[in-house]
Each structure stands twice: as structure tokens, then as C-alpha cells.
Amino acid sequence: MRLRVGILRFRHFPLLFWLLVSLGSQQVCGETIGSNEPLQIGRLPVSYTGLPDDFLYPAYLADPLAVNSQISIRNYQIDEIHPRDDGTEQHFDITIGMRYNFFRFSPIGSPDLGIEMDWGMALTTFMDTDRTDLLGVDGIYYFSLAVRPSDWAAFRLTRHHICSHMGDQLDSNGDGSSLVDFDMGLPLNEGAFVRDDYVISAMVEPLFGLEPILPVIARSLRVYGDYSFYLPGDDPILLGWRNLAPSDHSFIWYQYGAEVELPIANGNSGSLFAAGQISRWQETGYAPNISLQVGYIFARGKKGQRFKIAYQHYDGQSLLNNFRYRRAKFSGFLFTFDK
């Protein structure tokens, strides 16, 4: 994955130093690093929490490009990248990723509101189940600043990176395939897709006003939207030069979705959920990419953590972003751990 040599340049050391200082500042407040107890800042009506367990901005349930850890079994009805003779395929795809929360500033007495900074990274390996051959590796990382002014709404600004690399087994013999009409040679596809963008996000719980009379229903529905845009140039401190390749004039993508989560026995026995999302990318003519999931979320053993098992259906551009102009349609089961 093109994580860019620039991220290790000396000009990025101030950013790393600042992050270390922010994490270590818990010591200055007289507590140990990792404490989740909010600490009042002097006489100000503001508290500080270092390394919070949870996040002000939630992770989406049906986003196939979300940062999480996941095992996914996908039965392709349409695969225009690496199909069998009948056009189908089966993948065994594994994602290893995690979100990390650095700090949070909150109003006194409201530790679940405020402003915070978090970081996340994920790597997905796409594999053919016949031989578990590596078809591709995609990577995502981001830095974000999130704001939650109320219990029912949250917002986020993200500096986001995504890139894609073809696996060494997609064309292991180097002679192409009669089933596809493009050159699968490694020199042409190695790291061909890379995008550094900014993403503005919003999430609301529209039924929150019902909490006094129907508390379970009030928190059951979430709707959200993301708007991504590319700005040419350089970030002198944060992550370096911003790339957009190969479609260097396709500046925009956006997505929107909704989630319904119904707790069982007040959440003590987990919850059932259904979620849907549609994304649209400028470089593919804003054609809809539809992602649907239904499943079960296990009872949370630790604040901020979520483990789910779900049935998934997807129809849209390939999730191997090197081949995003190719269609993928699949269904199957997945197991996801996220924060």
C-alpha cells in the first residue's frame, strides 16, 4: 500500500510530537494514561478525557469501506475481475483495522458530548477461496476531528487516505485471462489507485425526541451522510502531498445511509439490526453502490466495542479499488469487530 514515504519525513515529526504530548498530558493532570475519568481543567466548565474507550462519532454498520476488523465470506453473482468460467466467484476477505481515540474535551457533567480527535487504519486482503490466493490489498487511514453537541447529533471532519494494490496471484502466470478485457500485468496495476481527500460527515438520531415515552425506540434509528472532496496541494504537517490517481479530475464522492438497532432485554442480550447505505463516486458517473446488512450485535462487554455477525448484500463498483470501474455483486456472511 502506498502509505507514502512522505509520512516519515522530518517535517511530520512536529505532528507526531504533538500527538505524544496530547496523550501524555494525562500525567500533567495527575492521572495515569488511559484513565477514562473526565478531569476538570482548572476552574473552567470543561473536562478532559485522555484515550477514551468510546467515540463521539459512531462507526457505520453497512459501510464496506469502514475501518474495522472483519472476516467476510462473499459469494459473487457478478465478478468482472477474477471470475470463474460461469462469471461467479467466492472470496474469503479479511480486514485488520482499528480506530484509536486520542483525547476529548467535554462540558462538565456531559462526558459523552464535546470535541475529540481520533485516528484509524485498516488493511483488507481479498482472497479467492479455491486456493486463498491473494487478489489484492487495499488500505485506508485517516485523522479526524469529531464534534457531538447533543445526544442526537454528531459531526466530523476527516483527512482521509485510501489506496489499492493488485495481489500477486490475480494473474500468477503473467499471461492475462480470456475472461477479462484489460491488462492484469502488475506494472500497470501496482498501486494504480490512490486518493487523499477530506470528508465531512453528519449523523442524527431523528427519533430522539421520543425518549421520555419510548426510550428504546428513541435511540433505535440513525441516519448519516458523508461528502468527500479532493483539494490539490500539500499538507505541510499532516501526511504530506495529497494524491488523486489515476482519475485526477474526479474530486467527489458521497454516501448516505440509515441504521435500525433494536436492543434485546435492554441490551443485556445484544441487539438486532438492519442497515443500508448508498455511495456514489464521480469517477464512475455517480452510479449507485448499494450495501445492505442484517444481523445480530452481541452484548457489549466493554464500552465502545462492538462485535456483530451479519448477512450482507452488495451491488456496485468493485471493492478492490484498483478495479472500481468493474462491477461486483455478492452476498454472504461476515463477522465484524469495531469501535
Distance CA(141)–CA(246), nearest Å, equals 19
Q: How many residues does the chain have?
A: 339
pLDDT at 35: 55
pLDDT at 54 exceeding the cut of 60:
yes
CATH code of residue 201:
2.40.160.40
**Residue with more model confidence, 293 or 102:** 293
CA-nearest of 132, 157, 155, 130 to 143 is 157
pLDDT band for 93, please (50, 70, 90 cuts): very high
pTM here is: 0.83
- Closest C-alpha among 68, 148, 23 to residue 335: 68
Alpha-carbon gap, residue 47 to 107, rounded angstroms: 6
The whole-number pLDDT of residue 264 equals 92
pLDDT at 236: 66
pLDDT at 2 over 60: no
Work out the average pLDDT over 209-215.
89
The answer to whether the beta carbons of residues 226 and 252 sit under 8 Å apart is no
Cα separation values, 9 from 113, 196, 236, 243, Å = 35, 17, 10, 17
pLDDT of 72: 95
Q: Is the pLDDT of residue 59 over 80?
A: yes
Among the listed residues 265, 214, 240, 243, the one whose alpha carbon sits nearest the alpha carbon of residue 321 = 243
Look up the domain containing 319 and give its range.
Answer: 65-98+118-338
Backbone conformation region of residue 168, classed left if phi is above 0, alpha if psi is from -120 to 50, else beta: alpha
Taking the C-alpha atoms of residue 123 and residue 309, their distance in angstroms, rounded to an integer, is 20
Is residue 9 a part of any domain in this protein?
A: no
2, part of any domain: no
pLDDT of residue 37: 77
d(CA 19, CA 83): 45
Consecutive H or E run containing 273: strand 271-281
- Under 8 Å CB-to-CB from 324, ≥6 apart: which residues? 193, 281, 283, 284, 317, 318
CA 138 to chain centre: 12
197 lies in some domain:
yes
What does the pLDDT average to over 247-252?
A: 86
In a domain, residue 111? The reply is no
- Whether residue 59 lies inside any domain: the answer is no
Q: 226 — phi, psi (to 5°)?
A: -125, 140
- Are the C-beta atoms of 114 and 56 separated by less than 8 Å? yes
pLDDT digits (tens, 9 = 90+) for 295-332: 999 998 777 789 999 999 999 999 988 888 889 999 99
Mean pLDDT of the chain: 83
pLDDT score at 8? 40
Q: Give residue-wise pLDDT tens across range 150-208.
A: 999 999 999 999 988 877 666 666 666 655 555 665 555 555 788 999 999 999 999 99
What distance in Å separates the CA atoms of residue 199 and residue 159, rounded to the nearest whole number?
7
Instruction: Provide the number of structural domains found in the chain.
Output: 1
